Structure 1
Amino acid sequence: MQNRDPAEVPGGYDVAVIGAGVVGCALARAFTLAGAKVVVLEKAVDVLDGASKANSAILHTGFDAPEGSLELACIREGYALYHEVRDRLGLPLVRAGAMVLAWTEEEVAGLPALMEQAMANGVTDIHPVSGAEARALEPELSARVLAGFRVPGEHLVDPWSAAHGYLLQALANGAVLLRQAEVLGGRRSGGEWQLATTAGTVTAGLVINAAGLWGDEVDRRVTGESWFTIKPRKGQFVVYDKTAAALAGHILLPVPTKITKGIVVCRTAFGNLLVGPTAEEQEDREHAAVDRDTLQALMRRGTEILPALAGHEVTAVYAGLRPGTEEKHYRIRADLAPGYICVGGIRSTGLSAALGIAAHVLRLAGRGERPLSDPVWPRMPNISVDGTRDWQCPGHGGILCHCELVTRREVEAALSGPMPAGSLAGLKRRTRVTMGRCQGFYCSAELARLTEGRLTQPMLEPRHD
């Protein structure tokens, strides 16, 4: 099936955003609402197909971000903006709160400095807890917990609805999405960029590189050089059955190290319990494989924290890649003379910081467009356990995926509209179909019939009758 996204708007664009991950979607929204004519270029068949497809889905306060860093500023602004827009866009928020827990005397000794850092970062509502107090708050915690502190503002979100909502608002207000539009090169002439893509030539005044795992390669293709190097970092996760979610109300965080935030145990917005991620350096930017030994180590760590977890079944395992670089901080730089901004090195905090990053880049660009006076605010369908689901509403056409209670109407809606799903993975991120306990064993056949001829990347090979 051919790419169903529109081809090219005559006359070119004010802004071309390269990459439709969560940061690219937030950038498209910010510049569109600021009055710019925006095109989003995505090389995959669907959005959120790179680093943004796999994350912990936590809305961070920035309590442990590097003090005084751009990352902290973007997290704080993004956190505030998410709270500001979420009701109008229909984005879920599970007010869980977090506890940073120490399991060794060495970790206990590190708690005061981490609390001081949180206070310096503006997160002032934290408070210490003893091991006994932690267990009073979370009765299923292991008796081995020694101490910790609570961060009430850390929350759980749907990792995909946010980015979909940002991009849908951009599209509803005039932006254009081009999928299967890999950027092959760029040339600046007459005050505009000519971007060669696999979908044709795109003309834009300002180019913003938000290509995630391929940010340095896009840098080289467009400008001829790159000032940073992507060093992919893999994170593996274990997702437990929904019955395990009752074991933890808080997001359970470890004392972070200089290298990683460590293994997190928390509920998800979809009613499961998650353990992960790992932090594994690798060269491959495209494949994030899971391995048995690492997953078993994650499961052991999970049961060390919550012993009762040993009695619960695993629903799924997955892995994602984070676009780390040779330096820890965000790699954002504006070269406004040639009209180019690079937004690179956005690692595990990208979901929390996305709206803040977009606001920061908008200020860097100093655009002179007139903001939209009455923008359209589309509402995202709720696929989280927080709030009314479609199966509870009349006329849904029947439940297609019984594990995740996904209706036929939800699938039909995800296959249509301004940003229809282009693949089964994209359909999963929009609806949760096939992501439950049976992993699609019972519903895949019916889903394949329903989606036949409607996905750019079909579930089944074409029949030759």
Structure 2
Amino acid sequence: MIVESRGERSEGLYDVAVIGGGVVGCAVARRFTLEGARVVLLEKAPDILAGASKGNSAILHTGFDAPEGSLELACMQAGYTEYRAIHESLNLPLLTTGAIVAAWNEHDEAELDAIVARAHANGVDNVRRIDRAEVLAREPQLNPAVRGGVLVPDEHVIDPWSAPLAYLTQAMANGAEVRRDCEVTGGAFDGAAWQLDTSRGRIAAAQVINCAGLYGDVVEQRLLGEAHMQIRPRKGQFVVFDKAAAALVDHILLPVPQPRTKGVVVTRTAYGNVLVGPTAEEQDDREHARVDHDTLEALIAAGAERLPALADMPVTAVYAGLRPATEDKEYRIRHEPARHWLTLGGVRSTGLTAALGIAAHAYALYREYVEHQPLASPVTPWVPNIAEHRPRDWQAAGYGEIVCHCELVTRREIEAALASSLPPGDIGGLKRRTRACMGRCQGFYCGARVAQIAGDALATPLSTGAAHEH
């Protein structure tokens, strides 16, 4: 059991209970706390980011290709703006890359003008069409078969794990509470407040905000008696190429989007690798996102088709994530003021960018009937940097020991994560906070040492074998 609070936790009624510790839940907890609400975040897993938020392409989107006039566009652009405004104060990285939507055939090429027109309609005015010569001048390693493209200068790469960690860490530093291993199993609204039944006892809150992601419809069914949406998990498989591949590409390479998916992306990561993916595969299982050999081979081939030199680069890791798609493409917002209920659902691949904007939208709905006094001088904590393009802990004196040589993770970093205000609850959480066991050897050499340092500090005990899980 893990309970986090600032100071002594008093019993009583919370203003807001946020269900779900993904990126949207973390952003919502931060926004409502900074606005003065007494917040508790409930996460059923041992650690945050255990569901859809743990696997994505980590792009900070401008919204250039989002549906015109949509809530998704508004939240993406608000989230983009807020991330740019706060990332330095929270010590969050921004890898400035820009993006190119590349056309590989006549059909793609015919769509480029429409992509530019939509971007301009969405207020992203610096997007422009570029010819084949400029595409290749910007990306000399690209397959010369490219026919042209669209330049999107302000699309960038961020760290997908440190951002939500920072949002929730700031919420906690300003009074929010977090309960992990805390599944909401039922509850009732008495006209004034919710009494939530959880696996760790009853919790009372005036307002419930459902940010349960892949289980958003299940939470609605349990608490409201019916769900307004049906989650249809969409799996995305990814291939991660070795760090040497980062020299092959500067921009995020985007495909011309299809009606159902944005398609396969080739991009650098904040950790110094090159990522190819995702796929878009429907499945019923909400828990397990398995990779398969044929699909991974197809992704490797797709990456090499765009960047031929990738064919000679080793693959460091493979993984898959699930997106909480629904029967509609739009965000699924259910706001019921009379029942003090708000669902923020159906948030798919744009959630990392949009989370801060979704949180601001949620508070705007909430303040129509409840308003708190915003914090006058909120605490703004830093989170440790794990991005490759910024100074790392091993470069500072006194780090003690390099534990993970592939990712240059120090013992000091691991110990700091374990002693932090929001310590990892399992090996996945420790990896996401430090990058330990995530390099070329995938924990083969450092796993035992990581387990030794962690000891019994994790709520879910770490075995040497667990350190090798992908």
1:407 equivalent to 2:410? Answer yes
1:57 equivalent to 2:58? Answer yes
1:11: Cα distance to partner? 1.0
Query: 2:113 touches 2:129 (CA, 8 Å); kept in 1?
Result: no
1:381 equivalent to 2:393? Answer no
Could you tell me which amino acid in structure 1 is paired with residue 111 of structure 2? G
2:426 counterpart (423, 441, 451): 423
Correspondence 1:292-331 to 2 at 5 A = 292-331=293-332
Structure 1, gaps ≥5 residues long: none
Give TM-score, length-normalised by structure 1. Answer: 0.98
Hey, what does 2:435 align to over in structure 1? Answer: 432
Query: 2:230 touches 2:326 (CA, 8 Å); kept in 1?
Result: yes
1:386: Cα distance to partner? 2.1
Could you tell me which amino acid in structure 1 is paired with residue 2 of structure 2? N
Q: Matched residues in 2 for 1:35 and 1:45: separation? A: 27
Q: Matched residues in 2 for 1:443 and 1:461: separation? A: 9
1:190: Cα distance to partner? 4.8
Hey, what does 1:360 align to over in structure 2? Answer: 361
Q: Matched residues in 2 for 1:420 and 1:277: separation? A: 29
1:132: Cα distance to partner? 1.8
Hey, what does 1:3 align to over in structure 2? Answer: 2
Give TM-score, length-normalised by structure 2. Answer: 0.97
Q: Secondary structure at the match of 1:359?
A: helix
Could you tell me which amino acid in structure 2 is paired with residue 372 of structure 1? L
1:461: Cα distance to partner? 8.8
Hey, what does 1:447 align to over in structure 2? Answer: 450
Q: Secondary structure at the match of 1:364?
A: helix
Hey, what does 2:242 align to over in structure 1? Answer: 241
Correspondence 1:90-105 to 2 at 5 A = 90-105=91-106
Deviations 1:392-443 (CA, angstroms, capped at 9, x unpaired): 1111121111110111010011111221111010000000000001111111
Q: Secondary structure at the match of 2:246?
A: helix
- Deviating beyond 4 angstroms after TM superposition, the runs of 4 or more aligned structure 1 residues are 4-8
Query: 1:206 touches 1:339 (CA, 8 Å); kept in 2?
Result: yes
Hey, what does 1:214 align to over in structure 2? Answer: 215
Please identify, of 281-290 and 414-423, the stretch whose mean Cα deviation from structure 2 is larger.
Answer: 414-423
Hey, what does 2:67 align to over in structure 1? Answer: 66
1:176: Cα distance to partner? 0.2
Q: Matched residues in 1 for 2:229 and 2:271: separation? A: 36
Equivalent residues, number: 461
1:8: Cα distance to partner? 6.4
1:70: Cα distance to partner? 0.3
Hey, what does 2:115 align to over in structure 1? Answer: 114
1:393 equivalent to 2:396? Answer yes
Q: Secondary structure at the match of 1:246?
A: helix
Q: Secondary structure at the match of 1:234?
A: strand
Could you tell me which amino acid in structure 2 is paired with residue 126 of structure 1? V
Deviations 1:8-39 (CA, angstroms, capped at 9, x unpaired): 64012000000000000000000000000000
Query: 2:22 touches 2:48 (CA, 8 Å); kept in 1?
Result: yes
Q: Secondary structure at the match of 2:266?
A: strand
1:385: Cα distance to partner? 1.2
Hey, what does 1:369 align to over in structure 2? Answer: 372
Q: Matched residues in 1 for 2:191 and 2:350: separation? A: 37
Please identify, of 125-134 and 13-22, the stretch whose mean Cα deviation from structure 2 is larger.
Answer: 125-134
Hey, what does 1:128 align to over in structure 2? Answer: 129
- Specify whether residues 173 and 164 from structure 1 end up closer, same or farther in structure 2 by C-alpha distance, changes over 3 A only: same
Q: Matched residues in 1 for 2:167 and 2:409: separation? A: 23
1:5: Cα distance to partner? 4.3
Hey, what does 2:275 align to over in structure 1? Answer: 274
Hey, what does 2:192 align to over in structure 1? Answer: 191
Structure 2, gaps ≥5 residues long: 466-470
Q: Matched residues in 1 for 2:39 and 2:49: separation? A: 18
Query: 1:8 touches 1:202 (CA, 8 Å); kept in 2?
Result: no
Could you tell me which amino acid in structure 1 is paired with residue 207 of structure 2? L
1:16 equivalent to 2:17? Answer yes
Over the aligned positions, Cα root-mean-square deviation in angstroms equals: 1.2
* Identical-residue share of aligned pairs (%): 58
1:131: Cα distance to partner? 1.3
Q: Matched residues in 2 for 1:168 and 1:325: separation? A: 30
Could you tell me which amino acid in structure 2 is paired with residue 351 of structure 1? L
- Specify whether residues 211 and 9 from structure 1 end up closer, same or farther in structure 2 by C-alpha distance, changes over 3 A only: farther
Please identify, of 129-138 and 233-242, the stretch whose mean Cα deviation from structure 2 is larger.
Answer: 129-138
1:262: Cα distance to partner? 0.4
Q: Matched residues in 1 for 2:283 and 2:130: separation? A: 37
Q: Matched residues in 2 for 1:417 and 1:247: separation? A: 37
Could you tell me which amino acid in structure 2 is paired with residue 376 of structure 1? V
Query: 2:102 touches 2:150 (CA, 8 Å); kept in 1?
Result: yes
Deviations 1:155-200 (CA, angstroms, capped at 9, x unpaired): 0000000000000000000000000110001111150100000011
Could you tell me which amino acid in structure 2 is paired with residue 74 of structure 1? C
Could you tell me which amino acid in structure 2 is paired with residue 100 of structure 1? V
Q: Secondary structure at the match of 1:337?
A: helix
Q: Matched residues in 2 for 1:447 and 1:379: separation? A: 24
Could you tell me which amino acid in structure 2 is paired with residue 249 of structure 1? D
Deviations 1:364-402 (CA, angstroms, capped at 9, x unpaired): 001311000000000111100122111111111211111
Hey, what does 1:283 align to over in structure 2? Answer: 284
Correspondence 1:324-343 to 2 at 5 A = 324-343=325-344
1:300: Cα distance to partner? 0.4
Q: Matched residues in 1 for 2:200 and 2:131: separation? A: 58
